[in-house]
Structure 1
């Protein structure tokens, strides 16, 4: 209501477009990018999603990727990934492999710049991208952490007004669901890939559940 009252009803359309583009980008990243990585190792992203459907529903309901952390580790071990690799890669990934949060931060920052008529040169955009990608490593896997990280990072860039985060406050909860889902799927794929690199995966079990 604050956003509509201050900026008008036309803001709803712009926010709707932002949400749609964000969801499409996350879906593309999961199915095409992560799917190609898994396919290179002989596994299917669709089989992985089906195998982790219960964990994904938990994440969807809580908007927090950390809520399914214990179950994710258990499932990956069952799928053939060695316990040492799972114990290292998954917890580390929750700090350094937050794909959904990285996508959200960059898209939200550019949206705020456009909405506030803040000019961004190519150099500004590259600087913004670099800073946000680095700051995303400090985001937690809980609801709203991406928004807090965005608000804390924008002042460091300089030319994007931090007050603009109020524009997306109303839809952050809905975008948080896609962020969390992308994060947990990215960590699952990373664990399978690292297990393959290190020859620490039971290929028979992996083929059974993910092939």
Structure 2
């Protein structure tokens, strides 16, 4: 995500829009997961010969849209959500979800790409809506006229020297002993 934020900033989106919309999108804008769950359910229904009415299809899509919001950041959670939702709704046999198990790893990569693209589009839309998008720069970056240059990494912590610690002795006791605390000497001695 930090690299994507750098790319969006260099593409002309304002920093506050990038900093708000992109992280929020990773939690709530899971288009790829929603699409996968809906199409997966319809595929399984057709594969096992279950005819879903239009009302059932709409219900499944709406429930799965809500279900997809609860699985942000958990790898492989879409398959588990599909299994749980299929058995809860009762429109398809829960065991039939295993038909998707073989392709779930490949589909996971596609879900991630779809989610990422959707979140990037959301950043551009919000930036444009707020009047915070440098449109000429965005066009140049997206056409390849301006190359991406990674920003230098910021160091927020100073390097702390690693002290030699005796095996089996907690570092706190060694530090206390070095500072002359008598209780530390009693514990280690």
TM over 0.5: yes
Gaps in structure 2 of 5+ consecutive residues: 144-189
CA contact (8 A) 1:141 1:180 kept: no
1:87 aligns with 2:10: no
* Counterpart position of 1:191: 123
* Counterpart position of 2:8: 76
Provide the C-alpha distance between the structure 2 equivalents of 1:144 and 1:98, rounded to a whole number of angstroms. Answer: 14
Distance 1:142 1:72, change over 3 A: farther
Matched pairs, number: 143
Shift of residue 96, structure 1, vs aligned partner = 1.8
1:150 aligns with 2:82: yes
1:172 aligns with 2:100: no
* Counterpart position of 2:54: 122
1:201 aligns with 2:133: yes
* Counterpart position of 2:39: 107
Provide the C-alpha distance between the structure 1 equivalents of 2:131 and 2:110, rounded to a whole number of angstroms. Answer: 32
TM-score in terms of structure 2 length? 0.70
Kindly indicate which of the two structures has a greater share of residues assigned to helix.
Answer: 1
Shift of residue 121, structure 1, vs aligned partner = 1.1
CA contact (8 A) 1:90 1:191 kept: yes
Look at both structures and tell me which one has the larger radius of gyration over its CA atoms.
2
Shift of residue 142, structure 1, vs aligned partner = 4.8
- 3-state SS of 1:143 partner: coil
Provide the C-alpha distance between the structure 2 equivalents of 1:142 and 1:75, rounded to a whole number of angstroms. Answer: 25
Shift of residue 108, structure 1, vs aligned partner = 0.5
RMSD between superposed Cα atoms in Å: 1.5
- 3-state SS of 1:170 partner: coil
Q: Which moved more, 1:158-167 or 1:74-83?
A: 158-167
* Counterpart position of 2:68: 136
Deviating 4+ runs (over 6 angstroms): none
Gaps in structure 1 of 5+ consecutive residues: 1-68
